[in-house]
Amino acid sequence: MAEYKVPLKDMSFLLYEVFKADDMWQKLPKLAEQVDKDTAQAILQECAKIAEQELAPIARQGDEIGVSFSDGVVTTAPGYKEAFNTYAEGGWTALGGDVNYGGMGMPKMLTALHEEMLCSADISFALYPVLTAGAALSLAKHGSDELKERYLTRMYSGDWSASMCLTEAHAGSDLGIIRTKAIPQDDGSYSITGNKIFITGGEHDLTENIVHLVLAKLPDAPAGPRGISLFLVPKFNVNDDETLGEHNKVSCGSIEHKMGIHASATCVMNFDESQGYLIGELNKGLACMFTMMNFERIGVGIQGLGAAVRSYQNALEYAKDRLQGRALDSKVKGVKNPAQEADSIMVHGDVRRMLLNMKALNEGSRALSSYIAMQLDYATYGEGEEQQKGEALAALMTPVAKAFFTDIGFENTVTGQQVFGGHGFIREWGQEQLVRDARITQIYEGTNGIQAMDLLVRKVASSKGVLLKVFTDEVSAYIDDNQNEAGMAEFIAPLTEAVNDLTELTTELLTKSEANINELGASANDYLHVFGYTAMAYIWARMAQVSLTKQDSNGECGDNFYQSKLHTARYYFTRVLPRRISLIAAAKSGCDCMFDINDELF
């Protein structure tokens, strides 16, 4: 496996040349106090060192050894505790945290790139701090001052970690039917009883305490999701003097044996009259939890990207070194590598296709992820119309980030495996681990089918297309401003067609759904991918535009980086964006062919 190298130049290109993040930070008063370009660059460089030198080297061992379970105790793989301590001592657990409780208050545009580094290095390790950051976000927004003072400071310091306890054996996506109970106590706390499954980081030896965020219902709560409340349940109770008290009645019943992410502890958690504390209002638990879940869904999308980036780096190094066959045009143009018995597989069209697909989709995903992160920063730190637009775009694009990035992320790990051929299927090269690790990203935090339904039904249809129009209006304005710019025609024309097709598809589906709501469910997955490829085209056009400005009077970019960007942009528009055409045809085909078949005929 190639040594992981953080793509710092591409990250800086996006932050400062494409999105002008440093200008945005200075315009937003709440961010101007926390971050500037020099600070951001120092953070990215130092995080890159941690990812490359501390985390990436332990990923293979973590996969092979995994976590172990004995008598309720979970032990992480060798090297993980030491790596976590190094990570926490560096202050990374506080990167995006509330400054009032010891956090650094960095913008999402920065923490998203930080998360990509962690996930490229080792998704299993990344899950521990990233879940804690998500839980801290929910607690900071909805928790009482007392809870925040007591728990947030220790979560940001890395002394304590957190888990998110939603799923039960009978209740996965339908959280309204959970059975975990919360009984009010005289001291204002609650007694929590129930069982949760698939709990990432529910038990481990990395931190001295684990803060569980648990969904439960009071006995008299309304039926369904309207009766869910959110509770903070610590592994160890905390004394008034902030020291750890007795072990709460929380235990790990077992760990799951999984296809991938072996070094991440996935636990069955038992709550047996555990002491818990209400977060937010009674029966409003889903709203509180969705603060964390939306954070995690974008984070899961970044996990898919992280695995895909590592896959590309591995495959590219292998392709340049692997000698097999001669180029098809060798009889016309001569042998490419006469000193060797064969050419590298880089001469073969199909290998170049696979590598360019990976490159175009990876760089497009990083750029689109940064764009979505920017919307979250406007939603959090902006004001007025700017904040409202950020909230609208973040809501619209959260399911796209989760589902689109993980679908193409998994595709790119498999593609990298294909470049290796038989060597990609065996353990020696480490490529097959990326395939196994990336697979879960399409499943947890809401399967990608559910994300597609969220986009089309809850975001687009429920708003009668208003949310989508916020995005298409921005793209249309960009097209109007740049359609006559020199060199941009090859990007603006297909982008215009793609946006028009997306708008027309949306109108047709919403109209058809008025007669049959199943039209939305049948076309949701195709629709999400049409949206994803179109949104990525918008961002690729913006990257190409910046790269064009670096050309000299002869039309050549002086820097290989910008030349590569332009070539990759052309590849995306020529060979990748047309994927949406078949997806549109499928989405328009209707739902009858799905629902006219009786269950017995499957």
Q: For 314-341, write each residue's pLDDT tens digit.
A: 999 999 999 999 998 888 887 888 889 9
> Phi-psi category of 106—alpha, beta or left, where left has phi over 0 and alpha has psi -120 to 50?
beta
DSSP annotation string for 402-457:
HHHHHHHHHHHHHHHHHHHGGGGTSGGGSHHHHHHHHHGGGTSSS-HHHHHHIIII
Q: Which of 154, 152, 223, 229 is closest to 190 using CA atoms?
A: 229
Q: How far apart are CA 412 and CA 117, in angstroms?
A: 17
What is the percent of the chain where pLDDT is above 70?
Answer: 99
Q: How far apart are CA 274 and CA 247, in angstroms?
A: 10
- Does the pLDDT at position 557 exceed 80? no
Calculate helix-pair angle for 108-142, 56-65, nearest 10 degrees. 60
Q: What is the pLDDT of residue 552?
A: 65
Cβ neighbors of 110 (< 8 A, separation 6 or more) are: 15, 35, 40, 43, 44, 95, 96
Answer whether 121's CB lies under 8 Å from 52's CB: yes
Residue in 168, 432, 445, 519 annotated catalytic: 445
* Strand-strand pairing, 160-165 and 209-217: parallel
pLDDT tens for 520-542 read: 999 999 999 999 999 999 999 99
- Does the pLDDT at position 96 exceed 70? yes
Mean pLDDT, to the nearest integer, of 158-171?
95
Q: What is the pLDDT of residue 473?
A: 98
Q: How far apart are CA 210 and CA 244, in angstroms?
A: 11
Give the CA dihedral 262, 170, 528, 460, nearest 10 degrees. Answer: -140
pLDDT tens for 35-47 read: 999 999 999 999 9
* pLDDT band at residue 588 under the 50/70/90 scheme: very high
Mean pLDDT, to the nearest integer, of 420-440?
96
Answer whether 48's CB lies under 8 Å from 8's CB: yes
Task: Quote the mean pLDDT of the chain.
Answer: 95
DSSP 8-state symbol, 550: T
Q: What are phi and psi of 48, to 5 degrees?
A: -60, -40
* CA distance to 1, 27, 394, 459, 494, per residue, from 475 (Å): 40, 23, 15, 18, 12
Q: What is the pLDDT of residue 5?
A: 98
CA angle 352, 358, 360 (to 5 degrees): 95
Number of helices (H), then strands (E), belonging to the chain: the values are 21, 11
- Does the pLDDT at position 292 exceed 80? no
Q: How far apart are CA 540 and CA 572, in angstroms?
A: 8
* pLDDT band at residue 118 under the 50/70/90 scheme: very high
Q: What is the pLDDT of residue 598?
A: 94
- Does the pLDDT at position 558 exceed 90? no
* pLDDT band at residue 175 under the 50/70/90 scheme: confident
SS3 per-residue string spanning 487-527: CCHHHHHHHHHHHHHHHHHHHHHHHHHCCCCHHHHHHHHHH
* pLDDT band at residue 467 under the 50/70/90 scheme: very high
Look at the block and give the residue holding tokens 């962690």.
118
Q: How far apart are CA 215 and CA 323, in angstroms?
A: 55
Active site annotation includes 383 = no
* pLDDT band at residue 210 under the 50/70/90 scheme: very high
Mean pLDDT, to the nearest integer, of 471-481?
98
Q: How far apart are CA 319 and CA 333, in angstroms?
A: 21
Q: How far apart are CA 164 and CA 174, in angstroms?
A: 16
Give the CA dihedral 477, 479, 480, 481, nearest 10 degrees. Answer: 90
For 101, other C-beta atoms within 10 Å of its C-beta total 20
Q: What is the pLDDT of residue 555?
A: 62
Least confidently predicted of 183-192, 332-341, 392-401, 496-505? 332-341
Answer whether 106's CB lies under 8 Å from 156's CB: no
- Does the pLDDT at position 309 exceed 60? yes
